[in-house]
Amino acid sequence: MTEYKTKAQKKKFYRSREWETLRQQALKRDNYECQHCKRGGEVTVDSIKTPGQRKEIMLNVDHKYPIEFYPQLALVLDNLDTLCVKHHNIKEGRTFDKILQAKKKKWDDERW
């Protein structure tokens, strides 16, 4: 079984034809909409490519069970969820809230 522990292993996987094919299937299945937003009654759809310009990334296809811990589920469609960049970053713990909380003072008393 293939492992996806290192950056190089993950990079190779995410650049593979098998992943791109499955990723497109997940996007199509999810109607190119963020599933987290959809559950909350909102809609976030993928951006439209403008000729001559770089496409803005609005959606990611996320593994519900991470490939580094569940390599056997790396290419299983039911393990994939389409998420907007915001919700994908929240799920992965990549938010600015943590940085702001770390900088916030422990005591917030008034000064006399």
**Rounded Cα gap, residues 84 and 40, in angstroms:** 13
| Domain annotation covers residue 112 | no
pLDDT for residue 112: 53
CB 72 within 8 A of CB 82: no
Domain-located, residue 37: yes
pTM: 0.77
The structural domain count of the chain equals: 1
Q: Is 111 within the bounds of a domain? A: no
The yes-or-no verdict on residue 103 having pLDDT over 60 is no
Q: Can you give the residue range of the structural domain that contains 31?
A: 7-48+55-98
**Res. 53 pLDDT band, cuts 50 70 90:** confident
Round to whole Å and give the CA distance between 11 and 67. Answer: 12
**What whole-number percentage of the chain has pLDDT above 70?**
84
Helix (H, G, I), strand (E, B) or coil at 89: helix
